[in-house]
């Protein structure tokens, strides 16, 4: 039952008012519509911009250039308690490119703390990586970074950050 409810939330996550509760905490997608940046833009000058990660659309995507450790970062605009981060892979192709990621949260870009790590690669299109952060994870920035391999593109369809003030 909980899983069905969560799926319903995910499909409606474009609406920043969507909430769910863990215990007494009511959580919102605090990433929706916020500022996002990525380590590089594609060298071919196309337009898969970092903001595509937080626009509520699951059929578009972000795209870096080829790098060792590409990242995408979301500036939540203020500090939030972050409970969970969900990263959705591309649906159209290349889902295996999303692999071995660290998800970090912090108040300061020079002092980011590990929320969780996903080992391996996505096995199907549009797959969701869900990471629950340690208790009392708090921060303004959320970063997803590939930490294995030498030649990586980072593409994500959407990032949902479940948090609260």
x/- letters, 24..63, toward Ca ion (CB under 5 A): ----------------------------x--x-x--x---
Instruction: Verify binding: residue 158, Ca ion, rule CB under 5 A.
Output: yes
In the bound state with Ca ion, the residue whose beta carbon lies nearer, of 13 and 137, is 13
∠ Cα 7 13 19 (to 5°): 85
Nearer Cβ to Ca ion (38/52): 52
Tokens of 26: 């009511």
Three-class SS of residue 163? Answer: strand
Distance in Å, CB of 107 to Ca ion, minimum: 26
Phi, psi of 2 (to 5 degrees): -60, -40
Q: How far is CA 48 from CA 4, 86, 101, 156, in A?
A: 31, 19, 20, 10
Looking at the Cβ atoms of 48 and 106, the one nearer to Ca ion is 48
Nearer to Ca ion, 40 or 55 (CB): 55
From the CB of 87, what's the least distance to Ca ion, in Å? 11
Number of Cβ within a 10 Å radius of residue 59:
11
Binding site for Ca ion (CB under 5 A): 52, 55, 57, 60, 158
């Amino acid at each position: 039952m909980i899983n069905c409810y969560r799926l319903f939330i995910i499909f409606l996550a474009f609406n920043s008012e969507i909430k769910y509760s863990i215990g007494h905490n009511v959580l919102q997608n605090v990433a929706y519509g916020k500022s996002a940046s990525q380590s590089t833009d594609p060298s071919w000058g196309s337009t898969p911009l970092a903001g595509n990660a937080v626009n509520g659309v699951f059929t578009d995507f972000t795209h870096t250039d080829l790098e060792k450790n590409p990242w995408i970062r979301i500036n939540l605009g203020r500090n939030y308690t972050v409970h969970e981060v969900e990263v959705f892979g591309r649906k159209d192709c290349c889902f295996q490119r999303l692999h071995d990621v660290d998800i970090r949260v912090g108040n300061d870009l020079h002092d980011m703390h590990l929320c969780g790590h996903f080992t391996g690669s996505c096995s199907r299109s549009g797959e969701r990586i869900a990471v629950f952060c340690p208790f009392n994870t708090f921060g303004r920035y959320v970063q997803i970074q590939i930490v294995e391999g030498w030649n990586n593109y980072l593409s994500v369809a959407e990032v949902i950050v479940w948090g609260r003030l």
